[in-house]
Homo-oligomer: A and B are copies of this chain.
Amino acid sequence: MSFKVLHKDTGSKARAGVLKTAHGEIQTPVFMPVGTQATVKTLTNEELIQAGAQIILGNTYHLYLRPGEEVMKNAGGLHKFMNWHKPILTDSGGFQIFSLTVNKKITPEGFEFQSHIDGSRHFLSPEKVVEYQLLLGSDIIMPLDECVPYPSARDYVEQSLKITHDWALRSKKSLPKDVPNLLFGIVQGSSYKDLRKISAEELCAMGLNGYAIGGIAVGEPSDVLREISAYTAGLLPEEKPKYLMGVGMPEDMLNAIEDGIDMFDCVVPTRNGRNGQAFTGKGEIQVRNGSFKNDLRPIEENCPCYACRNHSRAYIRHLFNTNEILGLRLVSLHNITFYVKLIASAREAILCGNYSKFKKDFISNREKI
């Protein structure tokens, strides 16, 4: 077994575990910074390690288009290409084909689409996507799936699920037996609980290495997000890691941990960081704000990140006002540190048996700005 639950919370479904991969163990719950194009935006690997990152994401769709197979093969896979030697999870690209490409067409065989970069035509089958993730050397492979928009008609979701499940099975069949790469399943079903249940059952019957909840955080209200993700998490086997894709805000993650989720990824810390939004234990601040003009405090007191150890809000505000790249770096680094440490602290709280107090304290503090 690649996954082991070490401790279960008594007041909720929260659990602390360890997931073994070909590039080392991951302590769960875990936040995974997003490195779509073989780089977590603005940051070096060294900075990610200092922030405490245990695993990062790459994206099959993006890395298939650029740098492409030839370059990746020559480099010896994604770890060597980007010189990152801890685990990597690669998303299949289903979501990106759904959200980025034009003239796309889904058939039982796979996805036809035009590249968002140069309009070139491509076809990706579930087998091809697994093959490319094997070339990437991904520690955790996600199968090709269809991520339906919210809201979607029930009929459409039902049809889509058949394809997603068939693709998951084809993905499993195409993965050689002796490889160390893990293959997860992605539960879809939009906001329909019964369809989520069918999806979970079908995928669980395939005996995959872990289960992700997909099609979440695609525009649905936050109460729907919580309800569907909690419901779906409850359908998944306890002995496998549970991954809530693309979520989210700090409170959403802490709620999801209570529902039994082990793994998170989200672009918010880097994307919002590049827009000047910095996360703190008391809430978010916009560093461009005039109120920070003469504020010599760091973004957050006692934060161990380079930005907070070395620079003031006044200085970082100046960097944003003058469009200096160092500003984007400092806030991205702070936010990644905040996210990684938050989930690491949640794990500690689970192990110490005080998760619900930890969550309550965090949420009540967050309203203080």
- A interface residues (Cβ-Cβ under 8 A, vs B): 37-39, 41-46, 62, 66-67, 70-71, 74-75, 81-83, 293-294, 296, 306, 310-312, 314-315, 318-319, 321-322, 324-326, 328-329
Are A42 and B325 in contact, CB atoms less than 8 angstroms apart?
Answer: yes
Residues of B within 8 A of A324 (CB): 37, 39, 41
CB distance from A110 to the nearest CB of B (A): 24
Q: Which residue, of A83, A315, A318, has the highest number of chain B Cβ atoms within 10 A?
A: A318
Decide if A294 touches B44 in the complex (CB within 8 Å). no
Partner of A315, one of B70, B83, B312: B83
Contact indicator A75/B312 (Cβ below 8 Å): yes
Inter-chain contact A311/B66, CB cutoff 8 Å: no
Q: Are A315 and B82 in contact (CB under 8 A)?
A: yes
> Given the known A-B contacts A81-B314, A314-B74, are A42 and B326 also in contact in the complex, defined by CB atoms under 8 Å?
yes
Evaluate whether A318 and B42 lie within 8 angstroms (CB atoms) in the complex, with A83-B310, A83-B311, A329-B329 already known: no
Cα of A310 to Cα of B45 in the assembled complex, Å: 9
Contact B45 A75 (CB under 8 A): no
How many copies of the shown chain assemble into the complex?
2
Could you name 10 residue pairs across A and B whose Cβ atoms are closer than 8 Å? A37-B319, A42-B329, A43-B326, A44-B306, A44-B326, A67-B293, A70-B293, A74-B294, A325-B328, A329-B329
- Known contacts A44-B329, A66-B321, A75-B312; 17 additional CB pairs below 8 A are A37-B319, A37-B322, A38-B319, A41-B324, A42-B325, A46-B310, A62-B322, A66-B322, A67-B293, A67-B318, A67-B321, A70-B294, A71-B293, A71-B318, A74-B314, A75-B296, A83-B311
CB–CB B44/A315 < 8 A: no
Chain B nearest Cβ from A277, distance in angstroms: 17
In the complex the two chains form, what is the Cα distance from A199 to B178 in whole Å? 79
Query: What separation, in Å, do the CA atoms of A124 and B276 have in the docked complex?
Result: 32
Name the prevailing secondary structure of the A interface residues: helix
A312 to B50, CA, bound (A): 22
Q: Which residues of B contact A312 (CB under 8 A)?
A: 75, 81
Q: Complex Cα distance A324/B83, Å?
A: 16
Smallest Cβ-Cβ distance to A117: which chain B residue: B322
Task: Tell me whether A296 and B74 are in contact (CB under 8 A).
Answer: yes
- The smallest beta-carbon distance between A81 and chain B, in angstroms, is 6
Q: Which residue of B lies closest to A321 (CB)?
A: B66
Residues of B within 8 A of A306 (CB): 44, 46
Taking a contact as CB atoms under 8 Å apart, the answer to whether B311 and A39 are in contact is no
Chain B nearest CB, measured from A172 CB (Å): 31
Q: Are B294 and A71 in contact (CB under 8 A)?
A: yes
Closest to A293 in B: B71
In the complex, the answer to whether B318 meets A66 with C-beta atoms within 8 Å is yes
Cα distance A314–B70 in the bound complex, in angstroms: 11
Central interface residue in A83, A296, A315, A319, by most chain B CB within 10 Å: A315
A114 CB, nearest partner CB in chain B, Å: 18
CA distance A244 to B281 in the complex (A): 49
Q: In the bound complex, what is the Cα–Cα distance between A45 and B45 (angstroms)?
A: 18
In the assembled complex, which residues on chain B have CB atoms less than 8 Å from the CB atom of A39?
319, 324, 326
